[in-house]
Amino acid sequence: MTLPETTQLSPTSEQASLSGLLLLASGRFPAGGHAHSGGLEAVVTVEGVRDIPGLEAFLRGRTATTGVVTAAFAAAACAALTDPAGCGVAMLGELDHELDARLPAPALRTVSRRLGRQMLRAGRVVWPHARLDELADAMPHGPHQPVALGAVAAAAGLGAHGAALAAVHESVAGPATAAVRLLGLDPFAVHAVLARLGPSLDAIAVEGAAHARTAPAGLPARGAPLLDILAEHHATWEVRLFAS
C-alpha cells in the first residue's frame, strides 16, 4: 500500500536533507554512540594502539570492513523505507536477518541491537513518522543499528547516499572520539586523521548507495575476525570505560 502523499518518506529540498544529515551524523545526536568505542578499548589494551599512527591504522581497517557493511545496509534500509509499494518494513526484517548473519560475535549482535533501539527511539522523537512506529512494533527487541539508522535517515528526508554517508562517518567518528578519552590523544590530531579519511569515507558512501536496491543476501559481508574475538573478550571485563 502506498502511503498518503503527506506522509511519503522521500527527500525534501537539498537544504533540508543536508540539515538532516548534519543532525544525524552529529556526535551529540542521542543515539547512544558516545558510550561505545567501536572495539577500540579492547584493541588499545590487548593490541597496544598507543598513538595517532596506530589509531589511523585501526580506523582505516574499520572503514574497509565494518564501514562498508554498515554503509550498504543503511542505504538499503533507507531505500526500503521509501519504497512506494509499501513493503518497506518487511524488507527491513530481511535486512536485519542478513546483518545478524554478518555479526558472528554474540556481544556485537547485542550491542548492535541496543544501539538500534536507541537510534530508533531518538528518530521517532526527532522525525516522527508512522513507518518508524511500525518498525518499532515489528522489532521490539530492536533492529540492528545500521538498519535503524537507514530507517531514521529516510524519515529525516535523506536518500540512500546520505544514509550511507552517515553510517560510515559514525563507524569511525565514535572510535576516534573514544581515543581521546582512552589515550589522552590531542583532539586536533585525531580530527586531522578523520579529515585524511574523508576521501575514503566518501568513496564508501558511494559504494554503499550503489547497493540500495541490492537483494539483502547480496549485500557486502566483509568481516574483522580479530575485532569479533576482542568484543567477546571485552564483554567479560568487570571494569571498562565503554560498553563495547
pTM check: above 0.85 = yes
Q: How many percent of the chain have pLDDT more than 90?
A: 67
Residue 242 lies in a domain: no
Quick check: is 11 in a domain? no
The answer to whether residue 60 sits within a structural domain is: yes
pLDDT computed for residue 49 by the predictor: 87
The reply to whether 222 falls in a domain is yes
Determine how many CB atoms are found less than 10 A away from the CB of residue 170.
Answer: 27
Q: Can you give the residue range of the structural domain that contains 215?
A: 21-232
Q: What angle do CA 94, 31, 138 make, to 5 degrees?
A: 30
Q: Cα–Cα distance between 216 and 91 in angstroms, integer?
A: 8
For residue 82, the SS3 value is: coil
With a cut of 50, say whether residue 2 has pLDDT above it: no
Q: Is residue 14 part of a domain?
A: no
To the nearest 10°, the Cα dihedral for 129, 130, 135, 137? 130
Whole-number pLDDT of residue 3: 38
In a domain, 2, yes or no: no
Looking at the 3D structure of the chain, how many domains does it have? 1
Residue 36: pLDDT band (50, 70, 90) is: confident
For the segment 130-147, the average pLDDT, to the nearest whole number, is 92
Q: What is the mean pLDDT of residues 15-37?
A: 80
**Across residues 159-169, what is the average pLDDT?**
94
Owner of C-alpha cell 598507543: 50
C-alpha cell at 32: 547512544
Residue 239 forms part of a structural domain: no
Query: DSSP secondary-structure letter at 222?
Result: -
Contact 189, 206 (CB under 8 A): no
Per-residue pLDDT tens for 50-105?
999 999 999 999 999 999 999 999 999 999 988 766 567 888 999 999 999 999 99
- The CATH number covering residue 194 comes to 1.10.4190.10
Q: What are the counts of helices (DSSP H) followed by strands (DSSP E) for the chain?
A: 11, 0
The alpha helices in 102-159, defined as continuous H runs, are: 106-126, 130-138, 145-155
- Pairwise CA distance, residues 227 & 225, whole Å: 5
Count of beta carbons in the 10 Å neighbourhood of residue 18: 13
Beta-carbon contacts of residue 22 (< 8 Å; ≥ 6 apart): none
Mean pLDDT for the chain overall: 88
What is the structure's pLDDT at 35? 86
**Is position 155 within any domain?**
yes
CA gyration radius for the chain? 17
Least Cα distance to 40 among 23, 25, 55 occurs for: 55
Q: How far apart are the C-alpha atoms of 59 and 9, rounded to whole Å? A: 33
